[in-house]
């Protein structure tokens, strides 16, 4: 697979896992009863994840969230009454801390990109097996995003479509990274953990984290995903498919 896919989809080393012993609280919003039952039964074998509620459409889910506290939502894109596309921005507006994993039967790059811009934390096909669903829930809860070939291809496709020549007067306004910042960003994209980066650049882990936060400010990235997209766009790492 391409460098970007390997970089993002295996980015699990950068942030330490949660130390909480409480299970991750999950709500499944899908209009297919059998699908909900299947996912709930599969996740029932995991001690650190618990399905606490089910909804059959977006309106039902939003009503439920008023009284039920959750960590992660599995949200189907296509539902009656109120679908996942309309529900996602409402969730992010009212409960910005919630991680939302969109469930889909389609491989629509423009739709995936649009929903990620609206705050989706990952996408899974409804044919994904239980281990993938479990991994996505854990990763989104601990690291905000879970990337796979579905999300990565959409991001790359969107990046290519927006790949235009920047006028000289605007190019000068691009943030200038120091050599140290560029090195750390490249190491982040190479799946190095914070401790590994600290050892390689002879800095403390806390300083590396501070530089990572500074990189987000300088580049305008709101997440690790944004930093990696910046690295691809500016050829710090390769983004070829």
Give the mean pLDDT of 143-166: 68
Question: Which tokens is 48 given?
Answer: 């650190």
Structural domains in the chain, sorted by start: 21-159 (3.40.50.2300), 177-241 (1.10.10.10)
> Which is higher by pLDDT, 197 or 157?
197
Which pLDDT score is estimated for 109? Answer: 75
Give the mean pLDDT of 186-191: 79
Specify the 3-state DSSP secondary structure of 141. helix
**Residues 2-61: tens digit of each pLDDT:** 444 444 444 444 444 444 479 999 999 999 999 999 999 999 999 999 999 999 999 999
Q: Is the CB of residue 211 less than 8 Å from the CB of residue 181?
A: yes
Question: Which tokens is 97 given?
Answer: 């801390």
User: How many alpha carbons lie under 13 Å from residue 48 in its C-beta half-sphere?
Assistant: 12
Question: Which tokens is 195 given?
Answer: 């401790």
φ and ψ of 239, to 5 deg: -120, 20
Adjacency order of strands within the sheet including 99-104 = 49-55, 24-29, 72-76, 99-104, 122-125
Which pLDDT score is estimated for 160? Answer: 59
């Amino acid at each position: 697979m391409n460098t970007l896919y390997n970089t993002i989809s295996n980015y699990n080393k950068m942030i330490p896992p949660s130390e909480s012993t409480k299970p991750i609280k999950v709500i499944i919003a899908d209009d297919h009863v059998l699908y909900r039952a299947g996912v709930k039964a599969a996740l029932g074998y995991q001690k650190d994840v618990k399905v606490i509620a089910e909804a059959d459409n977006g309106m039902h889910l939003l009503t439920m969230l008023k009284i039920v506290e959750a960590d992660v939502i599995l949200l189907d894109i296509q539902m009656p009454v109120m679908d996942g596309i309309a529900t996602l921005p409402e969730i992010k507006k009212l409960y910005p801390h919630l991680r939302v994993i969109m469930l889909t039967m389609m491989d629509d790059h423009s739709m995936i990109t649009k929903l990620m811009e609206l705050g989706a934390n990952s996408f899974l096909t409804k044919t994904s097996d239980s281990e993938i669903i479990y991994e996505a829930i854990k990763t989104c809860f601990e690291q905000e995003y879970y990337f796979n070939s579905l999300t990565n291809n959409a991001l790359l496709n969107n990046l290519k479509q927006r790949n235009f020549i920047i006028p000289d007067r605007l190019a000068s306004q691009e943030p200038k990274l120091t050599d140290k910042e560029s090195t750390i960003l490249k190491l982040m994209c190479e799946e190095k953990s914070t401790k590994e980066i600290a050892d390689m650049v002879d800095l403390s882990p806390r300083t590396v984290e501070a530089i990572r936060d500074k990189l987000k400010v300088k580049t305008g990235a709101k997440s690790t995903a944004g930093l990696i997209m910046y690295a691809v766009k500016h050829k710090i790492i390769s983004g070829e498919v």
